[in-house]
């Protein structure tokens, strides 16, 4: 096992700055998920760690070795891709042992033992003599994993390995990968564009946007203390609601004025222009006066909850949509005006650069 460290890593393709000054450490034995929208530089980052792309600037260390100029086959990593590309004319056993044979480092008995151990771990020993075309997508993905496991690498690098699988299988394989990680304890970097996958699988997640690292932290920290508006909107489903607001001092805290609401919040915050963020699950129907009026467009029953899709009653721009995740007993009619409320402890403020501005409620302030 090994720690992987990226220091100031940059990648430029011709005139595209794909990855910019990334600093991050993947701890020994950690499962780190790298997540972000398409084109943000995830694959490029992973491919630089693998040695499949040259590094334009900075340094990558695996264990204690700087690997910038080390060939991929000498890096002691194993990669699992979305396209698992098994050799069709080889059995599962042959597919899994191929890399070991090619390396010339192991005798037959050792190869057999490694393949059989990996097959047991993946619960596919009965498939060893079958051919890829006889296997389901999930079984093929297991074989692809098996091919990496037999090499007993210091680091696993996984690039969207589950994206070819249907939703049910994907969620099964997620659990499976976590179990494998627990058993093997190998440092793993896992790339995905899917925030749900990141939230459920990662010990920590690294969120990229436009080639830059936005935040690296435990999933719950990214959720409850996002560094900036990008992270706030990317993590969590449905996404956080954002309102552009003016903040002024008020005797009881601050007065917050948006296009269609005005409310007083008991927090300490410098006056100015901000984006106010409230997650759908933190909005609820007001018991009294409420804070945010909105007109119901659609009510989507989700079982335990209803998702309300609403529009603020501002004349002129009816564009902003508000989503509220409420108890399933609250089911207003489309067209109805409702008053929504939120707790002051659940809101986030972002300044004009997009950075989150931590606030203290008066209650916290006095304790």
Size of the site for ligand ADP (CB under 6 A): 11
42 or 142, CB closer to ligand ADP? 42
Least CB distance from residue 3 to ligand ADP, whole Å? 23
Using rule CB under 6 A, residue 83 touches ligand ADP: no
Residue 228 DSSP class:
B
Residue 48 is a binding residue for ligand ADP (CB under 6 A)? no
Check binding of 279 to ligand ADP (CB under 6 A). no
283 near ligand ADP (CB under 6 A):
no
Q: 3-class SS at 132?
A: helix
Binding status of residue 275 toward ligand ADP by CB under 6 A: no
Q: Looking up tokens 């599962």, which residue turns up?
A: 92
Question: By CB under 6 A, is residue 44 in contact with ligand ADP?
Answer: yes
> Footprint of ligand ADP on residues 5-34 (CB under 6 A)?
13, 16, 18
> At residue 346, what are phi and psi to the nearest 5 degrees?
-100, 0
Distance CA 359, CA 365 (A): 10
Closer CB to ligand ADP, 17 or 339, in the complex = 17
Distance CA 31, CA 213 (A): 17
Q: Is there binding between residue 91 and ligand ADP (CB under 6 A)? A: no
Structure tokens at 107: 């005798």
Rg (CA), the chain: 25
- Judged by CB under 6 A, does residue 52 bind ligand ADP? no
Task: Compare residues 20 and 176 and give the one whose CB is closer to ligand ADP.
Answer: 20
Cα 176 from Cα 170, distance rounded (Å): 10
Q: How many CB atoms lie within 10 A of CB 220?
A: 10
Would you count residue 226 as binding ligand ADP (CB under 6 A)?
no
Q: What CA–CA distance (Å, rounded) separates 348 from 188?
A: 32
Q: Is 38 in the site for ligand ADP (CB under 6 A)?
A: yes
Say what angle helices 167-184 and 137-149 make with each other, to 10 degrees.
20
Residue of 7, 10, 25, 39 interacting with ligand ADP (CB under 6 A): 39
Binding of ligand ADP at residue 40 (CB under 6 A)? yes
Question: Shortest gap between Cβ of 157 and ligand ADP (angstroms)?
Answer: 13
Intra-chain end-to-end CA distance of the chain, in Å = 44
> Using an 8 Å Cβ cutoff, are 362 and 264 in contact?
no
**What are 284-289's contacts with CB under 8 Å, separation 24+?**
284/324, 284/326, 284/327, 284/340, 284/341, 284/342, 285/326, 285/330, 285/332, 285/338, 285/339, 285/340, 285/341, 286/338, 286/339, 286/340, 286/341, 287/341, 288/341, 289/339
State the minimum distance, in angstroms, from the CB of residue 187 to ligand ADP: 20
Q: Which is nearer to ligand ADP, 41 or 138 (CB)?
A: 41
53 neighbors 157 (Cβ within 8 angstroms)? no
Q: Tell me which H or E stretch contains 121.
A: helix 108-121
Residues 311-330, one symbol each (x = binds ligand ADP by CB under 6 A, - = not), give --------------------
Shortest approach of ligand ADP to residue 209 CB, angstroms?
A: 10
Q: Does 43 bind ligand ADP (CB under 6 A)?
A: yes
Angle at 70 between CA 66 and CA 71, to 5 degrees: 155
Q: How far is the CB of 71 from ligand ADP (least distance, A)?
A: 19
Which CB, 130 or 164, lies closer to ligand ADP? 164
Least Cβ distance, residue 144 to ligand ADP (angstroms): 19
CB of 19 to ligand ADP, least distance (A): 7
Among 41, 132, 202, 253, binds ligand ADP (CB under 6 A): 41
Is 161 a residue that touches ligand ADP (CB under 6 A)? Answer: no
Nearer to ligand ADP, 43 or 97 (CB): 43
Q: Is 42 in the site for ligand ADP (CB under 6 A)?
A: yes
Contact residues toward ligand ADP (CB under 6 A) are: 13, 16, 18, 36, 38-44
């Amino acid at each position: 096992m090994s720690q992987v460290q990226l220091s100031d890593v940059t990648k430029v393709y011709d005139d595209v700055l794909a990855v910019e000054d990334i600093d991050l450490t993947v701890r020994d034995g950690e499962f780190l998920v790298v997540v972000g929208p398409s084109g943000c530089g995830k694959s490029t980052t992973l491919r630089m760690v693998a040695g499949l792309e040259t590094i334009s600037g900075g340094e990558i260390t695996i264990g204690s070795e700087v690997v910038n100029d080390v060939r991929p086959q000498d890096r002691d990593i194993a990669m699992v891709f979305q396209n698992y590309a098994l050799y069709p004319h080889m059995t599962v056993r042959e597919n899994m042992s191929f890399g070991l044979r090619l390396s010339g480092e192991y005798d037959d008995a050792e190869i057999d033992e490694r393949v059989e151990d990996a097959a047991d771990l993946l619960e596919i020993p009965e498939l060893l003599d079958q051919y890829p075309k006889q296997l389901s997508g999930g079984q093929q993905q297991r074989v692809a994993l098996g091919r990496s496991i037999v090499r007993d690498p210091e680091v696993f690098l996984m690039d969207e390995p589950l994206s070819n699988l249907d939703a049910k299988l994907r969620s099964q394989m997620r659990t499976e990968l976590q179990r494998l990680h627990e058993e093997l304890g190998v440092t793993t970097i896992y790339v995905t564009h899917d925030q749900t996958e990141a939230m459920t699988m990662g010990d920590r997640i690294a969120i990229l946007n436009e080639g830059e690292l936005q935040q690296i932290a435990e999933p719950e920290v990214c959720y409850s203390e996002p560094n900036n508006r990008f992270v706030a909107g990317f993590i969590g489903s449905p996404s956080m609601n954002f309102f552009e607001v003016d903040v002024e001092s008020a005797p009881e805290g601050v007065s917050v004025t948006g296009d269609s609401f005005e409310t007083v919040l008991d927090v300490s915050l410098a006056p100015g222009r901000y984006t106010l963020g409230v997650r759908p699950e933190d909005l609820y129907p007001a018991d009294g006066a409420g804070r945010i009026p909105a007109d119901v467009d659609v009510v989507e029953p989700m079982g335990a909850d209803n998702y309300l899709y609403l529009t603020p009653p501002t004349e002129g721009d009816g564009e902003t949509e508000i989503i509220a995740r409420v108890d399933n007993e609250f089911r207003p009619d489309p067209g109805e005006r409702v008053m929504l409320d939120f707790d002051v402890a659940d809101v986030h403020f972002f300044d004009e650069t997009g950075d989150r501005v931590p606030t203290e409620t008066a209650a916290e302030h006095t304790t």
